[in-house]
Amino acid sequence: MEKFIERCTEQVIGIYEQFDASHDFDHILRVMRNAEMIARTLPEADMAIVRLAALLHDVDDPKYKTESGVSVKELLHSSGVDADMTKRILETIKSVSFNGGNEEEIVSIEGAILRDADRLDAIGAIGIARTFAFGGARGRKLYDANEIARTNMSESEYRSKNTSSVTHFYEKLLLLKDLMVTEEGKRLADERHKFMLGFLEQLKREVGI
């Protein structure tokens, strides 16, 4: 398994280097660490699937995908991963996206682990940093006192509007704690959620919103 991890890592570093700081290779390493931490509490999980899915989970992200870009399936094939494991990894990755609340059904314990691991990196101090890094890369306002957070969005509606970074907290980040699936994910999310609430209260005091 280590040889597959090594081969895939060699190929994806260059891909993630093209992304902004919110989805760079450091994000991948944090998600992998989160996933391993959660997986250790669930001995029935296949750690190889968890690790490879964590490593590759943003390669096909529609926010960054280009027509010329290599796909996860192609990376796995070129790294020598067999068809059965490839199918399981793709199913695991499919479980991750929020899509404006239009989530895919989780079909495996590995999918639950990766979903929680990725969402842990979207909240807390690192989640705050990533939100403003992504917003800056996309030219979004820091905050907009007149903007109303959207609910019940379709995936296309979620992705189409450049709402302010602070509005993103209310459209996604503050929802994630209650969407955690694993017990360890829920436990780890609680402190990070409280940190975000404290940050938002301080921000409101400083900017008068």
- Tens of pLDDT along 64-76? 887 667 899 999 9
Looking at residue 176, the DSSP 8-state letter turns out to be S
pLDDT band of residue 190 (cuts 50, 70, 90) is very high
Q: How much is the pTM?
A: 0.91
Q: Which residues of 91-123 are buried (b: 16+ CB within 10 A; e: fewer)?
A: bbbbbbbbebbeeeebebbbbbbbbbbbbbbbb
Round the CA-based radius of gyration of the chain to a whole number and report it.
Answer: 17
Of the chain, the percentage scoring pLDDT greater than 90 comes to 77
Are the CB atoms for 116 and 190 separated by under 8 Å? Answer: no
Domain ranges for the chain, please list them. Answer: 2-207
Pick the CATH number of 2-207 from 3.30.460.10, 1.10.3210.50, 1.10.8.60, 3.40.50.2300: 1.10.3210.50
Query: What is the predicted pLDDT for the residue at 75?
Result: 92
* From 44-58, 87-101, 193-207, the region with the lowest mean pLDDT: 87-101
Closest C-alpha to 36, from 91, 94, 114: 114
Closest C-alpha to 57, from 102, 1, 114, 129: 114
Query: What is the predicted pLDDT for the residue at 52?
Result: 96
Looking at residue 104, the DSSP 8-state letter turns out to be P
Query: What is the predicted pLDDT for the residue at 99?
Result: 66
Cα distance between the two ends of the chain: 51
Query: What is the predicted pLDDT for the residue at 160?
Result: 66
154 pLDDT more than 70? no
Helix (H, G, I), strand (E, B) or coil at 44: coil
Q: What is the mean pLDDT of the chain?
A: 92
Are the CB atoms for 72 and 59 separated by under 8 Å? Answer: yes
